[in-house]
Homo-oligomer: A and B are copies of this chain.
Amino acid sequence: MTISIDDVVAASRRLGGIAHRTPVLTSHALNDLFGARVFLKAENLQRTGSFKFRGAYNAISALDPQIRQRGIVAYSSGNHAQAVALAAQLHGVEAVIVMPTDAPAAKRDATLGYGAQIVEYDRYTEDREAIGSAVAADRGLSLVPPYDNPFVMAGQGTASLELFGDVPDLDAVVVPVGGGGLLAGTATVARAQESVVAVYGVEPEAGDDTRRSLLAGERVNVPLPRTIADGQQTTAPGLLTWEVNRRLVDDVVVVSDDEIIAAMRLLLDRLKTVVEPSGACGVAALMNARIPLRGKRIGVVLSGGNVGADRLVELLAR
């Protein structure tokens, strides 16, 4: 085990008064539709618009102050970028974000808005990890990876720690999977509960690297996923996240881009809440009965809401 429940509890203490304790949304309409009690942890309402703030802040907070003072570097398609930018700003230190040239404009603007500097790379030809490491070495900055780091995983787990605290007796918890940081943190919390809680990850069909890895019993690479779920365009599970998830996760299921859009629409119509495509994955899995539902109490993490009005219109008009 690379992280324990104690690490998540420690992260929760660091985040106290800094991260939002996001609300748990419920809807009679959704419960009726699914024949289940559904509890939506609204991380789309988290600071910077996604759960990523939790892990980034926890990781930066845990750095030696002398080292932290020299600055932070991160690579990210977007939500981790904003998260690191704000977390660095709150610590009063500089942040450099390595970001793909085709990152959503809303995420790019928000990152700049938090005072970070952006270094661009081509998602389809260049290696962001190499660029990130080079920038880190070059300028003496500390790299905060998007998922493959114990403090990041533990930070992400605090969302579920709050969910289990607010909603007793959950039968299952469902979260989107990109690199697997949120899933690893969530699974660590779920396994520390007194009752048995099933842990499900959800991937876009085009990027089912964690599902394939679980089936194969080892880390499997997939081609770079082309999906609307830009938060989940990973090609393989992380090394550390894999070590956690291969032991603790019950299943990883997939949803199509069309199913994701239908879930975004349902959340908008019935919950009046805006999620980005990755944020709708869990609800898409429920709508299409990819996990056992009937009569159960199910927690779902709405991971983020950074889609922007223009892109939202584009997706819903499909």
In the bound complex, do residue A272 and residue B313 qualify as a contact, i.e. CB atoms below 8 Å apart? no
Interface flags, A227-270, vs B, CB<8A=1, else 0:
00000000000000000000000000000000000000100110
Complex partner residue of A316 from B106, B272, B305, B309, CB under 8 angstroms: B309
In whole Å, how far is A14's beta carbon from the nearest beta carbon of chain B?
19
Q: Does A23 contact B (CB under 8 A)?
A: yes
Complex partner residue of A305 from B28, B272, B305, CB under 8 angstroms: B272
In the bound complex, do residue B45 and residue A308 qualify as a contact, i.e. CB atoms below 8 Å apart? no
3 nearest A-B pairs in the assembled complex, by CB-CB distance = A272-B305, A272-B274, A44-B272
18 examples of A-B residue contacts, CB within 8 angstroms:
A25-B45, A28-B47, A45-B271, A49-B272, A106-B269, A265-B309, A268-B309, A268-B312, A269-B308, A269-B309, A272-B273, A272-B275, A274-B274, A310-B316, A312-B316, A313-B313, A313-B316, A317-B317
Interface residues of A (CB under 8 A from B): 23, 25, 28, 44-45, 47, 49, 106, 265, 268-269, 271-275, 305, 308-310, 312-313, 316-317
